[in-house]
Structure 1
Amino acid sequence: MLTEPPYLRIAAALREAISQGELPPGAKVPSTRQLASAHGVATATAAKALDVLRREGLVRAEPRSGHVVAGQHTQAESKRPALTRDRLVRTAIAIADAEGVAALSMRGLAARLGVPAMAPYRYLSGKDELVFLMADMVYGETGYPARKPEGWRAQLELSARTLWSVHRRHPWLAHLVPLTRPWPLPNLAAHNERALAALSVFGLNAADLCDLNVLFYNHIQGTAIHLERERHAMGATGITEDQWMETQARGYSALTGSGRYPVLARMIEDLAEGYDLDLDHLFEIGLQALLDGLAVRYPVGGAVSERQDLRA
C-alpha cells in the first residue's frame, strides 16, 4: 500500500479538528509556518494541505488574516444540484484524478459537495462500494467501433490502446486490486470480452486462454502503475524525477566505477546526454513485443496439436 503523502496527513488532521468542533466556523486556521513547524515539513507542503481543504470548502482565505474555517452555506451554495449516486461517484473520480485514491474519504467527499458528512451513506455503503463504482465508471468511458478491425493483432492493439488511454486518464486505477483478486466489473468485462475474442483465434483451452488474457492486461496495468507512483513520489518529495536522479548520481558512479557491471556502465556512459523514460513509448514497444511473441508461438492456421501447451 502506498504511504500517504505528508500534505494529506496534515489535511486529514485539520479536517478532523474542524469536524470535532475544535476549529469552529470563523476560527483562524494555523498558518503554513505553524503547520510546517508542528508537522516537520516544508511550508510548501503545509500550503498544499490548506489548498486541499480550501477546494473541499472547509476553509477559505481571508485578506490579511490567512485561512479561516468556512461558516454556514450561503443561499447561492444551497442551490447546488441534488445529491445522487452518480454525482457522488463522478466527484470522487475527480478527487482521485487530482490527488489519488489515498486522498479520498467519505467525509472529504461530503465536504467537497457541501453536504452533511453522513449524506453520502444514503447512496453508498462506504468507501469500498464507492471505489468499485468509480472503477466501473471509468472503464466504461471509452467504447469501441461497431466494426472490429481485421485480424487478431489489430483487434488486440485496439483493445490495449483503449485500456491504456483509460489508465492514462486515471492513474489511480492500476493500484486498486491485484491481478489475483479481480473485481466483477461489467465495464471491464467488456474490455476483456474484446481481448478474449481476439485471442480465441489460437484455439487454446480455457486455462491457457485465461493466462494469455491476464498476461495481456498485466502489460497494461503493470506499466500504468508507474504513472501514479511517479505522481505520488513527486507529491511526497517535491522534486522531479530528473532532480531525483541527480541525487542518485554518486551511487550510480560507485556502481559503474566498480568494474563489476561493464554493460550497465557502458549504457550509462552512452546515455550521458540524457534519457527520458517515456511510459507511453514503453507501453507501445512492450505491446508489440508481446504480440510478436504470440504470432511466433501460435501461428494462426497451424495445427493445435503442434502448439506448445503453456502449462506443460
Structure 2
Amino acid sequence: MSTPPYLQIVQDVKARVIRGELREGDRVPSTRRLAREWSVALATAAKALSVLAQEGVVRAEPRVGTVVTSWRPGGVPRGPSAGVRRAGGGEQELTRERVVAVAVETADAEGLAAVSMRGVAGRLGVSTMSLYRHVRDKDDLVGLMTDAAIAEFPLPDEPPPGWRARLEVSARLQWAACRRHPWLAWVTSLTRPRPSPGLLRHAEWALAAIDGHGLDPDTMMQVHILLYSYVQGIAANLELEQQAQAATGLTDDEWMDRHAPYPALVALGGYPTFVKVVEDLGGDFDLDLDRLFEFGLRPLLDGLALIIDR
C-alpha cells in the first residue's frame, strides 16, 4: 500500500531535520509552498504540518511562523501541547487569544484559505477538538481574527472636525489594516456582511460623520458602503498578489516582464488607444496599490461632497 501524501511530506521534513538541512528555529515551508511542491491540496499540506506539530517536530512561533523544534528521532515523546510555549520556556494554557494570534499569523503568511481548525491546531501542537473550547467554528475564528486585525489600527477617541476628515480617517485606518493583513479584504462581502464589532465601529463612525446633513437613511447607508467598498476593492489585490507570488515565485514586475500582453495586442489590433498609452509610457508605469489608493481617495470624497454638502 502506498504511503499517503501527507505522510510523505511528514517523512520528508523529518529526514531534512535529521540530515541537518532544517535546524532548530528554521522556518519550515508554508502550507501553500508544500502544496505546490508536492502537488497536493492545501488541506493535505496542512494535515502534514499538523502531524509534525503533534509529534513535536515543529511549533508555531508568533510573528515568525512554523519553525523546527529540538526534536530528534528516539527523543522523549512530546505531548499534544508541545507547540504551546511561554517565551521563557515551558507550556502555557491554550487561550482564545493564542488561537486567534496563530490563525492571524497563518493568514498573514499564507492567505485566508490556508486557515482551518485543523491547521491552526497543528501549529499550536494541540488536538483540533481542543480549539472548540475557545471558538465555535472556523467562521467564529475568522470573525475574531477580523476584530483583532482591525483593533491594531483603532479609531481615535475624538473624531476630527468635519465629515470629510472623519471619512478619510476611517478609510486610511482600514487601508493600513489591510496592508498589514492582506486577507482582511476577503473576510466579508457587501451582500453578506459579517457581524463584526470591529467593522461595525467603522460603520458607526462613517454614519455618524454624515449624520445631520439632511441625507435620508438610504443615502447614508450608500455612502458608508461605497467608502468601505473602495478600500476593500483595492485591498483585495494585496492577497491576490501574495497568492500569485507564492504560486509562481515571481514578483508582479517579473511576471509582467515575462507575460506582458502588449506585443500580442499590437499584433491583433483593435485596441489603438490602449496600445498608444502603453507605448507612450515606455514600459515605465508602476502599478503601486498605495499610490492607487491615494489617487482615488480624494476624488471619491470630492464626489461625495456633491451629495453631502448640497
TM normalised by structure 1 equals 0.74
In the alignment, which residue of structure 2 is the partner of 1:260? 270
Report the CA distance shift for 1:55/1:135 in structure 2 as closer, same or farther (over 3 A): farther
- In the alignment, is residue 269 of structure 1 matched against residue 276 of structure 2? no
Report the CA distance shift for 1:27/1:239 in structure 2 as closer, same or farther (over 3 A): closer
Report the CA distance shift for 1:295/1:82 in structure 2 as closer, same or farther (over 3 A): same
In the alignment, which residue of structure 1 is the partner of 2:78? 73
Give the distance between the partners of 2:199 and 2:36, measured in 1 at CA.
40
Please tell me the residue identity of whatever aligns with 2:49. Answer: L
Deviation at 1:256, TM superposition (A): 2.6
Please tell me the residue identity of whatever aligns with 1:279. Answer: L
Report the CA distance shift for 1:186/1:261 in structure 2 as closer, same or farther (over 3 A): same
Give the distance between the partners of 1:186 and 1:117, measured in 2 at CA.
26
- In the alignment, is residue 141 of structure 1 matched against residue 146 of structure 2? no
Please tell me the residue identity of whatever aligns with 1:170. Answer: H
Please tell me the residue identity of whatever aligns with 1:277. Answer: L
Deviation at 1:226, TM superposition (A): 0.1
Give the distance between the partners of 2:77 and 2:142, measured in 1 at CA.
30
Give the distance between the partners of 1:56 and 1:129, measured in 2 at CA.
26
**Matched position secondary structure for 1:150:** coil
Deviation at 1:44, TM superposition (A): 12
In the alignment, which residue of structure 1 is the partner of 2:102? 91
In the alignment, which residue of structure 2 is the partner of 1:207? 218
Please tell me the residue identity of whatever aligns with 1:261. Answer: Y
Match of 2:161 among 146, 150, 153: 150
TM normalised by structure 2 equals 0.74
**Matched position secondary structure for 2:128:** coil
**Structure (1 or 2) with the larger CA radius of gyration:** 1
Report the CA distance shift for 1:225/1:197 in structure 2 as closer, same or farther (over 3 A): same
CA root-mean-square deviation: 3.7
Deviation at 1:219, TM superposition (A): 0.1
Runs of 4+ in 1 over 3 A off after TM superposition: 15-18, 25-29, 39-45, 52-62, 67-71, 74-78
Please tell me the residue identity of whatever aligns with 1:122. Answer: R
Structure 1 regions of 5+ residues with no counterpart? 1-11, 33-38, 303-312
Give the distance between the partners of 1:111 and 1:149, measured in 2 at CA.
45
**Matched position secondary structure for 1:118:** helix
Deviation at 1:140, TM superposition (A): 2.2
Q: Deviations over 1:150-200 (max 9, x none)?
A: 211111111110111111111111112211000111121111111111222
Instruction: Indicate if the aligned counterparts of 1:152 and 1:201 stay in contact, CA closer than 8 A.
Output: no
1:16-55 correspondence to structure 2 within 5 Å: 53=49
Percent of residue pairs identical: 43
Match of 1:279 among 259, 283, 289: 289
Deviates more, 1:146-155 or 1:215-224: 146-155
Deviation at 1:13, TM superposition (A): 4.6
Q: Deviations over 1:74-129 (max 9, x none)?
A: 89867222101121111111111111121112122112112233211222222121
Instruction: Indicate if the aligned counterparts of 1:160 and 1:220 stay in contact, CA closer than 8 A.
Output: yes
Give the distance between the partners of 2:140 and 2:108, measured in 1 at CA.
18
In the alignment, which residue of structure 1 is the partner of 2:64? none
Give the distance between the partners of 1:71 and 1:262, measured in 2 at CA.
70
**Matched position secondary structure for 1:254:** helix
Deviation at 1:146, TM superposition (A): 2.5
Give the distance between the partners of 1:148 and 1:244, measured in 2 at CA.
43
Q: Deviations over 1:211-233 (max 9, x none)?
A: 11111100000010000000011
Report the CA distance shift for 1:70/1:155 in structure 2 as closer, same or farther (over 3 A): farther
- In the alignment, is residue 225 of structure 1 matched against residue 236 of structure 2? yes
Instruction: Indicate if the aligned counterparts of 2:36 and 2:247 stay in contact, CA closer than 8 A.
Output: no
Deviation at 1:240, TM superposition (A): 1.5
Instruction: Indicate if the aligned counterparts of 1:26 and 1:70 stay in contact, CA closer than 8 A.
Output: no
Structure 2 regions of 5+ residues with no counterpart? 22-33, 59-66
Match of 1:120 among 114, 131, 135: 131
Between the two proteins, the alignment pairs up a number of residues equal to: 268
Report the CA distance shift for 1:41/1:176 in structure 2 as closer, same or farther (over 3 A): closer
Please tell me the residue identity of whatever aligns with 2:162. Answer: G
